[in-house]
Amino acid sequence: MEKKTMVVGVIVILAVIGVYLYMNGYIPQLNFPSMNGTTAPVNNTNPEAENSGSQISVEISNSAFNPSEITIKTGDSVIWTNMDFVVHTVTSDSGEELMSEGIVKGENYSHTFNIVGTYDYHCSIHTSMKGKIIVE
């Protein structure tokens, strides 16, 4: 009887640890092929607009946006690429300008900025990760 109780206890502890790791982004989402054999598209809000201005890269690595602050011109696009093994997002601090889904390692999210302003953003999974886009 004690052996069964111990096995059940270990299973419960492992399940709790697994849920914690998943909810905090330490277990990445998997991208499976769709039914027609193609993979899911990269998270681009407006891929055609990338050709109208400059494209600026922000690398997501070591649980940080690098660079964390950039200044761009209207019409420029920013592309965030996740280099971490954990899932991250690009989410506006206020409003809905930036609203990526989970970005897994090697994938990216891009957005074209057409309105002058300052756009503060963060990772909704790891809220200590912060960044700023200044559009002139």
pLDDT in tens, 81-121: 999 999 999 999 998 899 999 999 999 999 999 999 999 99
Domain residue spans in the chain?
A: 1-30, 52-135
Q: Say what the pLDDT of residue 28 is.
A: 53
* Polymer length of the chain: 136
> Which of these, 69, 65, 61, lies nearest to 105 by C-alpha position?
61
CB 108 within 8 A of CB 81: yes
Predicted pLDDT of residue 102: 94
The continuous run of DSSP H or E covering 130 comes out as: strand 130-135
Q: Tell me which of 15 and 113 has the higher pLDDT.
A: 113
pLDDT per residue as tens digits for the range 36-95: 333 333 444 444 444 468 999 999 999 999 999 999 999 999 999 999 999 999 999 998
pLDDT for residue 2? 82
**DSSP string covering 21-46:** HHHTTSSPPP----TTSPPPPPEES-
CATH architecture, domain 52-135: Sandwich (2.60)
Whether 119 and 135 have beta carbons less than 8 Å apart is answered as: yes
- How far, in Å, CA of 76 to CA of 60, rounded? 19
pTM of the model: 0.64
**What mean pLDDT comes out for the span 10-21?**
70
Q: Which of 28, 29, 75 is nearest to 53 (CA)?
A: 75
Strand order in the sheet with 130-135: 69-72, 130-135, 117-122, 91-92
In angstroms, the Cα distances linking 40 to 32, 74, 109, 129 are 8, 29, 13, 26
Summarize the confidence of residues 28-41 as an average pLDDT.
41
